[in-house]
Chains A and B, each alone.
Chain A
Amino acid sequence: MHKTIDEYGKVEEKETALVEKEEKSPSMKQKLTASFIRVDGKDAKLAMAHMYVAFIALLLGGLAGLLQVLVRSGEFTLPLGIKIGYYQVLTVHGILLALILTTFFIMGFQIASISRTAGAFTNVQRKIGWTGFWLMLVGTAAAAAMVLLNKATVLYTFYAPLKAHWIFYLGLALVVVGSWLLCIMQILKYYRWKKENKGQTSPLLTYMAVVNSILWITCSLGVAVEVLFQLLPWSLGLVERVDILLSRTLFWYFGHALVYFWLLPAYMAWYVVVPKVIGGHIFSDALARLSFILFLLFSFPVGIHHQLTEPGIEGFWKFVQVVLTFFVVIPSLMTAFSLFATFEMRGRELGGKGVLGWFKNLPWGDARFLVPFIGMVAFIPGGAGGIVNASYQMNQLVHNTIWVTGHFHLTVATAVALTFFGVAFWLIPHLTGRTLTPKLNYLGNVSGILWGIGMLIMSLSMHLAGLLGAPRRSEYSTYGGAEMAYDWIPYQIAQAVGGTILFIAILVIMYIVVQLIWFAPKGEEEFPVATVAPGAEKTPAILENFKIWGVILVALIVFAYTMPIIDIISNSPAGSKGFMPW
């Protein structure tokens, strides 16, 4: 027998009410909270395996980030003893943080979310999951080895005709294939739940995780084609040349959807977890699902907005994809509205008065709320900057400048990253059977605030230097004493200050995570899952009809990409040989 989410929600609500009253009697609390719905032990192990990798990636990637800002300040050079160049460090940073931290954390979080809301995975599903995990890990190790041996200093976007060692590409392919298995595991579980609960609406978190799994499989097909059919045979010497523009277009078909793959798990936390943490309800189950579907649809026919200044692609089709890009404004506005509505309703419930009085009543001292909240705030300028980037002509002013780096350190490296950390603060103890103590909670807030301050400084100075033309992906240089480049240096020093604060925040986070894994007191930490407000309407069944959405999705992709790809292939010059200029 499977319980439905509503049943779960009700059970839990009673418990929290009691716990609040009985807070002072620890034995009572122990007994009551022991009946919180927990992630199945075997699933917890699989989810935790992902967390280890994610946080090791954070530490090492953060260290690389620190080295970058120091080198770029011009005040510091990499010690001679370390035979590692700037671009090697940057490759490590991009891969560990943008690809490894995110993918591992997301898979772990989604598995735990499904297990928590739809029940334990079956043994077969779990085996598929473990196979996926090990494939990803082996792939990561292989790719990392090549980067460290300086055989793959191609940055995390590995644009041809820079040619890495074939083991690097093979490693990436293994990561992608492993992640597919993990997604399949989740989708299988979802269909099993649907079969066992005919006619019922699936638990919201499960649904969201499944949408993101579908998004990931659909987008990583692009990079899989690029790696398996173009780069791998080319690096093995089986073919001499590779079609550059085609490889970039495949990459960005993947690359833009990738950013939504990072974002949707953060939205899972914003829509479902944070409302519970503050004691409120989900604003609307149906709108939450609708926004996920819209994100799924609009993350694909848009990748060319990363190629606006490239030759070989018709302006008309670039513009079509620009227009489609802006459609994500709709689900974004929906999300912003839902979140603030939830906050306001809860703030008023707690006695907040006036237009903004409710704001004070939110649980600012709770790291599970505050840390993701700082992320949400960062997402506002992040989104605004994104509008500039995507604005066709305006893109020329900022393309490949450090402005862009400033932009995605607000979005992925703050909005998404802080939400993930806010999740880890309860998810890890939930999975390891420990608790987030008041002291660790306090440190959590400290890390979030440090991150906010550090990123404000670093990202702002990146944006400003970018507007002055400073290029991204560039180590320190005076550009032959050029006056314009001279103006960039103060901003680079500011970036070093901000980056150092960020690194300190990472150390605090690592301390908390280590405590939560091995040392915090044993106990029960809640996996917060909010329920819909009482009296809410039933969610329309069409939102779970993935056949319809699949057809629309494919139609959009075909519409946006058929002509550009035909153009690229039919007009393509002879392909490129490989280069290793590092």
Chain B
Amino acid sequence: MHIHKYEKWWLVFGCATLVAFLVILAIGAFHNGTHPNEGKITVDYENVDSIKPFDNPGVHKVEGKEWDYEVVLVASAFSYNPNEIEVPLGSVVKFYATTRDVIHGFEIAQTNINMMLEPGYVSEYVAEMNKAGEYLIVCNEYCGTGHTYMYGTLKVVDENAQNN
């Protein structure tokens, strides 16, 4: 099959760019560990309220782990528990989230924190809070009539600034 000279150049250039691009994504994922949520733990979604850690939703300070805080969150139509999360600037936070009913989203607007919450599964994500401010948490998966009334806030607080 004949391929025009220019077309060959075009394809070679395109494929080379593609390979370079994929290598960058792969280094990010497998070397720097920037995987999106791939939570592996399963739970009984009908009894989350009595299963650890979801029997105690909220923000918990932890010691001796790779992160400083754990946020344990339960979503249900149409709210998040806890509804307000406050963590200090610079802290590393691990999110554990699940749903008690249908599928919900857990998106912290304008950040990389964005996971699907599916019944029976625990979604997990680790993030560093490196910009102070008040972030809006929204449900970004249609979950019923009250879908857009499902939101919360994440406050990343600069403690030094407050003390001054």
Contact = CB atoms under 8 A, between A and B. Distances in A.
A536 to B, nearest CB: 9
Contacts of A479: 136, 138, 148, 151
Interface stretch (A55-63, A482-490, A495-503): A482-490
B160 interface: no
A308 B141 contact: no
Interface in B17-75: 18, 21-22, 25-26, 28-30, 34-40, 42-45
Nearest to B44: A574
A392 B36 contact: yes
A374 B120 CA distance: 46
A484 B118 contact: no
A334 interface: yes
Interface residues of B, number: 69
B42 A537 contact: no
A573 to B, nearest CB: 3
Contact of A579 (B26, B35, B102, B110): B102
B1 A396 contact: no
Nearest to B147: A474
Contact of B121 (A312, A482, A581): A312
Nearest to A336: B10
Interface string A75-97: 00000000001010000000000
Nearest to A538: B1
A479 B22 CA distance: 37
Contacts of B103: 159, 161-162, 244
Contact of B14 (A329, A400, A470, A471): A329
Interface residues of A, number: 69
A582 interface: yes
Given A162-B102, A393-B36, A400 B114 contact: yes
Interface string A309-323: 111111100110011
A579 B147 CA distance: 14
Nearest to A332: B14
B148 A581 contact: no
Nearest to B2: A537
B153 interface: yes
Nearest to A395: B36
Given A161-B101, A576-B119, A85 B145 contact: yes
Contacts of A531: none
A472 B147 CA distance: 11
A474 B148 contact: yes
Contacts of A469: 107-110, 136, 138
A482 B136 contact: yes
A337 B3 CA distance: 11
Contacts of A573: 42-45, 119-121
Contact of A576 (B35, B40, B120, B141): B120
Interface in B79-122: 101-103, 105, 107-110, 112-122
Given A393-B36, A475-B148, A571-B40, A245 B121 contact: yes
B115 A400 contact: no
A472 B37 CA distance: 20
B126 interface: no
A480 interface: yes
Contacts of A290: 1
A247 to B, nearest CB: 10
Contacts of A323: 22
A316 to B, nearest CB: 8
B139 A471 contact: yes
Contact of B107 (A315, A401, A579): A401
Contacts of A393: 25, 28-29, 34-36, 112
Contact of B22 (A159, A326, A396): A326
Given A161-B102, A337-B10, A319 B114 contact: no
A161 B118 CA distance: 9
B1 A537 contact: yes
Contacts of B2: 284, 286, 537
A341 interface: yes
B80 to A, nearest CB: 12
B141 to A, nearest CB: 6
Contacts of A307: 116
A287 B101 contact: no
Interface in A389-441: 391-393, 395-397, 399-401
A477 B78 CA distance: 14
Contacts of A351: none
B25 A581 contact: no
A236 interface: no
Contacts of B122: 311
Contacts of B117: 311
A401 B114 CA distance: 10
A473 B45 contact: no
A30 interface: no
B29, B45, B143, B148 interface centre (most CB from chain A within 10 Å): B148
A258 B94 CA distance: 36
A330 interface: yes
A307 B123 CA distance: 13
A311 B36 CA distance: 9
A197 interface: no
Contacts of A311: 37-40, 115-118, 121-124
Given A482-B151, A537-B1, A326 B145 contact: no
B62 to A, nearest CB: 21
Interface of A: 85, 87, 155, 159, 161-162, 244-245, 248, 284, 286-287, 290, 307-315, 318-319, 322-323, 326, 329-330, 333-334, 337, 341, 391-393, 395-397, 399-401, 468-477, 479-480, 482-485, 537, 540, 571-576, 579, 581-582
In the A-B complex, the 10 residue pairs with the smallest Cβ-Cβ separation, listed nearest first, are A469-B109, A581-B144, A573-B120, A477-B148, A311-B39, A471-B140, A573-B42, A311-B121, A400-B140, A315-B35
Given A337-B11, A474-B147, A572-B120, 20 more contacts: A87-B144, A161-B101, A245-B121, A286-B2, A309-B36, A310-B118, A311-B39, A311-B123, A315-B35, A326-B21, A326-B22, A330-B14, A401-B107, A469-B108, A469-B109, A479-B138, A484-B110, A573-B119, A581-B78, A581-B144
20 contacts: A87-B147, A159-B141, A161-B102, A244-B118, A309-B116, A318-B38, A322-B22, A333-B11, A341-B4, A395-B36, A471-B138, A482-B151, A484-B109, A484-B135, A537-B1, A537-B2, A571-B40, A573-B42, A573-B120, A579-B77
Interface of B: 1-4, 6-7, 10-11, 14-15, 18, 21-22, 25-26, 28-30, 34-40, 42-45, 77-78, 101-103, 105, 107-110, 112-124, 134-136, 138-149, 151, 153
